[in-house]
Structure formats: structure tokens, C-alpha cells
Chain A
């Protein structure tokens, strides 16, 4: 019998003597942690990822070289026309720059504003800390689209702010706040803040608190201890939050659609219109690949310095 003996089976055999015969039957053909079994277990997930993620992205890459004939029709004649159009037409560059600008602004504000609650939850002696954390997770359960359109009730002509200011006589005309770039950024911040706060919080939580006590006992003031110990040690979480916020903001489509005007469309809206409106599949694929590659580069540059494992921590928090 060609049973591969693992350390475990040997130990078990020694312990169990006569009953080892029965166990050998159980483990015949398969090692305890057999590689073939592992592959069988991950196979469904891998197949799913291959057919729904990898193959589509490869197909998109191929489609960028296809020729657009007319709405909804393309031919497999290979051409560089889509790429040429993308690289020469400043229309696309404008969208790209605006998307990068809005993504960066959103991520930056999220970092500055989000650090306070993360720090507060970490440092507070409040007995019901779990409640504060739960309240950060609740937004994830509330439909994203509801969270987004609810801003219309705040910023709109008949929203809370305008109605209040009109009643108080501070303004005579409703302020145009909705359908502006500011509204888009605000909607994105509202959507992304919990990601940022949770990432920073997880990072803070992993700090050895005795380090801060040590700094204090060496004569650091609270501010110095924060600047020299706490802040640097929480940077990985801050970085992960920045990356996540930037990527998600830059890829957003619904927020600009709902809260922005026609001039506030982002790259995601451009892709949607190209595919679903003009039915120009090759150009839509080109734009998607551009976004994919650019965001991939940002993530790669980031993982070089920090490592993606931080994101995983944040996502599973």
C-alpha cells in the first residue's frame, strides 16, 4: 500500500495501535491535507472568477482593437482607431483629470474628517463603544442609492437647508446646491467615510498602547506622543483608507448621476453612456480598460509601499 504517511498519521498510529488499520482505510488514497482535495474545494470559486472576472477583462482588452461599425454592431477587424481616439481627443483627457481630481479631493477630505471619529472610538472610555462601531456599520446596510438620494432632501430647493434659511429670512432665493460638483463630492464623502474610519480604527487598534505610555513617561506631552507614536503607527490604515476611497470614488457612477449636473459627469458615466447610450462597445471597452489600468497602477504603487494586506484587514473589519 502506497500510503503517504504524514507526521499526523504516524503519531495517530502509534497512539492507537490496533485501530490504526481502520484509520488507514479512512485516509487511503488521500493524504490528510491533499493538494488534489484543496483544488477540488477551490475549483468552483476559481471557475467563477475565471469566467466572470478574468475572461471578461481579457475580452475587454481584445475588444479595444475591434472596429465600431454602427450602434450595437462591431466587426472583428483589428484597428488602433479606439486607442488613437482616446489618446488624441482632449474630451477624454478632461474626464480623466476631473475624475482624478474629484477622487483625490474626496479621499483627502475623508482622511482629515474621518481620523477624528476613528481616534475618538479608539481612545474613549465610553462603555458602549460597540454602539459607536455599530453605527459605523449600519450605513453599509442601508441601500447605497437611498443614502445618495437622501441628500436631495437636504440640499435640494425644498431641502432642509434651503427651507430653513428661507424661513429665517437669511436668503430670498433658494441656494443652488444640488446638481453641483460640491454635491457630488459630498455624496461621495458620505458613502466613503465609514470605509476610512474603519480602516484607521483597525490600524489604531493594533497599536501597542504601552508604547504611548512609554512616550508619556519619557516626558512627551499628549500632543508629542500623538505626533511621534500614534500617528505614524496609524499611517498604514490611513493609507489603506485613502486608496480605497480614491478607487471607489474614481469608479463611481451613481453619485454623479444623482447629485451632479450634466457637467459633473465622471469617467464612470462616460463609460456607461458609451456602452448603454451609443452602444459603442469597442470604445466603451477601451475606456474601461483605461480606468482599470490607471486604478491598478495606483493600487500597485500603493501595495509597493504598504501592502494590500491592510485593505483586507479593513474590509473584513
Chain B
């Protein structure tokens, strides 16, 4: 056998091994989640295998679980407001960081990323110590501000990445024709940024809705967000009800971005098509 064919065979085996490992990793990533979804339909009183029957009773029970519903409402509101404020602040900051040159720009760019790199435990304690130092009670405002801090880096990163690809000559053209800055932003820059803005809103919403570690520090006494409520329920034991709750949350947090992305793609596709039609004589 020639050296080349040995090498080729080795390469083929290496490639197969890579493929095998890839499949294993994907199974590893999703097996626990699949198990949770399956177990949420378990008829048994206990969370765990074997399945004793298929039923939706745990979903029905969930709908009457007052603490869970309250936690869901809290999380939903916090996540919505966080997404709105964080995106607003992040977009204008990203515009300044990409389009302008000023002293301290580099420092601010790095600073903005810090909340994503510093462990949540430290962010959580820090804000709490500050509140303690000025003798203020923990309120929902604290939780809200904290979530805005946590999501800001991601918004700025996403919008920056998009804005770098938008040529500034469009904006400069509008300005040179006498358009005020605000209208230039509204008519030119913002429409070009829409995909990034939508992505930011979705990501900020998901991060806020999902946040656990920092929220444990920041939440006011007696208030639970969805993840902290799950954590509290898990202290007793894992029940089919928690599996059902997990399944619903997976549906919401995976479904919303997927549907959102699909709609966005559909809209842009539709626009392109109608533009083409409009251009035809």
C-alpha cells in the first residue's frame, strides 16, 4: 500500500471520528431537554422515569398555581421593559461609538462589555452593597435597572456589528440635503438598523426573562421571577409540574425568536419581491 493511501485512510478515520464526536456533543446538548419535555407528560405523581401514562394534568395544575402565575407576570413585565430601555440606550450608544471619534471612546467600548464578562454573583453583590450603603430598600426598580445593565453589552455589540456595515454616505447625503439629524436618523439610519434592533430586543428579552443568579440578589423580598420561582420549587423535589413549566418556558423562549426571525425574513423577502415588481415597467 502506498503512503498516500494510508494517509488518506487515516484522514477518513479522523474525519469520521470528528463527525461521531459532533453527533455525541449534539446528543449531550439536547438529551436532558428532551427528557424533560417527555417527562412533563408523565401521569405519575413523581418526577422521573418510568412513565406511567401520558397526561396533560400537570399543565392543567400549573394554570391554577398562583405563585407561578405571579412570577410569570413579574418576569414578563421586567423583560419587556428591560428589552425596550436597553435597546434604546444601547442603539444610541452604539451609533456614537461607531460613527464618532472622541477621547475616551476606547475606554467606553471596553466598559460597555464588562457586564457580560464579570460574573453575575459579583454584579449582584455590588448593586446590593450600594443599595445597603445608602439605606434604600430593594424594590422592583433595582431588579429592572440590574437587568438593563446585564443586557446592555449584547445590544451594543449587535448594533455595532450591523452599523459598521452601513456606509455613512447615506446619512451624510441626507444631512447634506438639509435634513435635520433626527429625521436623518429616523429615515435613514434606523430603517437600516432594523434587523439589529429586532435582534437586540429579542436577546435582551430572553436574557432578562432567563436571568437567575443576579436576580436572586436583586429581587425584593417576597417577589419571585420565573427562574427564582423554579429554583424555589426545586428545593422540595423535582416534580412533573416543574417539567411542565420548563416545557412551556422552552416553547416561549425558543418559539418567540424563531417565529420572530421567520417573520422578519418573510417581511424582507416580501419587500424585495414587491420592490422588484414595482420596478418593472
Contact = CB atoms under 8 A, between A and B. Distances in A.
Most buried by B among A49, A144, A194, A284: A49
B35 A271 contact: no
Contacts of A285: 125, 129
A75 interface: no
B127 A117 contact: no
Contacts of B209: 143
Interface in B209-266: 209-210, 212-213, 216-217, 226-227, 230-231, 234, 238, 242-243, 246, 249-250, 253-254, 257
Interface stretch (A78-86, A89-97, A246-254): A246-254
A153 B48 contact: yes
B22 A275 contact: no
A30 B182 CA distance: 13
A158 B46 contact: yes
B127 A56 contact: yes
B210 A149 contact: no
Majority-rule SS of B interface residues: helix
A207 to B, nearest CB: 16
Interface residues of B, number: 104
Contacts of B93: 41-42, 44-46
Nearest to A118: B22
A68 interface: no
A285 B139 CA distance: 21
B144 to A, nearest CB: 11
Interface in B2-60: 7-8, 10-11, 14-15, 17-19, 21-22, 25-26, 28-33, 35-36, 39, 46-50
Contact of B129 (A22, A60, A152, A223): A60
A9 to B, nearest CB: 8
A149 B230 contact: yes
A42 B18 contact: no
B125 A60 contact: yes
Interface string A44-60: 11101100111111011
B48 A145 contact: no
A113 interface: yes
B40 to A, nearest CB: 10
Given A154-B35, A158-B48, A223-B10, A116 B21 contact: yes
Interface stretch (B64-72, B172-180, B272-280): B172-180
Contacts of B50: 163, 167
Contacts of B119: 247-248, 250-252, 268, 291, 295
A316 B48 contact: no
Given A48-B149, A116-B18, A146-B33, A42 B129 contact: no
Given A56-B129, A285-B129, A38 B250 contact: no
B192 interface: no
A217 B249 CA distance: 52
Nearest to B21: A116
B33 A147 contact: yes
B92 A44 contact: yes
Interface residue tally of chain A, by bracket?
35 or more
A110 B185 CA distance: 43
A63 B157 contact: no
Interface string A181-222: 000000000100110010000000000000000000000011
Nearest to A164: B49
Given A146-B33, A146-B249, A163-B48, A33 B254 contact: no
Given A8-B172, A160-B49, A143 B249 contact: yes
A254 B29 contact: no
B122 A291 contact: yes
B190 interface: no
A60 B33 CA distance: 38
A32 B175 contact: yes
Contacts of A253: 120-121, 213, 216
Contacts of B17: 116
Interface in A138-169: 138-147, 149-154, 156-160, 163, 167
Contact of B227 (A38, A117, A143): A143
Given A16-B176, A147-B33, 15 more contacts: A23-B178, A45-B93, A49-B111, A52-B127, A52-B145, A59-B129, A60-B126, A119-B18, A120-B22, A136-B29, A149-B246, A250-B119, A253-B120, A275-B125, A315-B113
In the complex, the 7 A-B pairs of residues with the closest C-beta atoms, listed nearest first: A251-B119, A158-B48, A56-B126, A38-B100, A116-B21, A41-B96, A150-B32
15 contacts: A26-B175, A63-B129, A141-B253, A141-B254, A150-B32, A153-B36, A154-B32, A156-B238, A163-B50, A167-B50, A221-B11, A268-B119, A276-B217, A288-B126, A315-B154
